[in-house]
A and B are shown apart, each in its own frame.
Chain A
Amino acid sequence: AQRVTQPEKLLSVFKGAPVELKCNYSYSGSPELFWYVQYSRQRLQLLLRHISRESIKGFTADLNKGETSFHLKKPFAQEEDSAMYYCALRLGGDDKIIFGKGTRLHILP
């Protein structure tokens, strides 16, 4: 069955420290992976998608098909990065998206 797993419900790191939000997926076909972010009192918004291969707000994520992972990384955390982060999987040829349960990132000053 298709599934997205975010093993951490909460991740607290100090400002300036590296951040890695883990995401693993289960899907036998050709996946399309996304990271969405929801800042406090704001709407859920797209952060990045694997096919774009871009860095957004200092975040990057590499799709590792061998490990079925799409971890979100940032070398130096900033206080404004505190938010809820969702990893999402779109199945090939479909517009249904499966979301993970989310990880709350809390940046300590």
Chain B
Amino acid sequence: DVKVTQSSRYLVKRTGEKVFLECVQDMDHENMFWYRQDPGLGLRLIYFSYDVKMKEKGDIPEGYSVSREKKERFSLILESASTNQTSMYLCASSSLKVTSDNYSNQPQHFGDGTRLSIL
């Protein structure tokens, strides 16, 4: 069974702090994602990575950066936390399935989420 583990369930930080959210998956998945989940706004993609050291901006990358030094770990970094970054953060991973004639991306598996409060 796929396991996506986010290091913290709850985190409280102060405005201006540098915040690290860690995510680890144990299924050797190529793709990893960071979303934030807000009431009335659904899930919004912040960043994703399709390989080690490779990253792509999602829909709302401003104020965030990411790091993927190892395949199993994808870190989300809030460079200088602000109160509007208070949210539930979800990490996800997915694999590439290789068939005889192409690659197809498989459904995403999600972690439990980190509820981050910025005071």
Interface residues of A (CB under 8 A from B): 6, 9, 34, 43-46, 49, 86, 90, 94-102
A95 x B42 contact (CB < 8 A):
no
Most-contacted residue by chain A among B40, B45, B56, B107 (CB, 10 A): B107
Which B residues lie within 8 Å of A44 (CB)?
43, 90, 92, 110, 113
B41 touches A46 (CB 8 A): no
Residue of B nearest to A42 (CB): B112
Tally of chain B residues near chain A (CB < 8 A)? 24
Across the interface, do A101 and B48 meet the contact criterion of CB distance under 8 Å? no
**B58 proximal to A (CB < 8 A):** yes
**A residues less than 8 Å from B35 (CB atoms):** 99
Q: CB-CB contacts of B68-107 with A at 8 A, as 1s and 0s?
A: 0000000000000000000000101010000000000101
Are B110 and A43 interface neighbours, CB within 8 A? Answer: yes
CB B110 to nearest CB in A, in angstroms, measures 4
Q: Which residues of B contact A9 (CB under 8 A)?
A: 40
Q: Is there a chain A Cβ closer than 8 Å to B50's Cβ? A: yes
Whole-angstrom distance between the alpha carbons of A49 and B107 in the complex?
8
Q: Which residues of B contact A102 (CB under 8 A)?
A: 42-43
In the complex, the answer to whether A95 meets B31 with C-beta atoms within 8 Å is: yes
In the docked arrangement, what's the CA distance between A95 and B29, Å?
13
The distance from the CB of A94 to the nearest CB of chain B, in whole angstroms, is 8
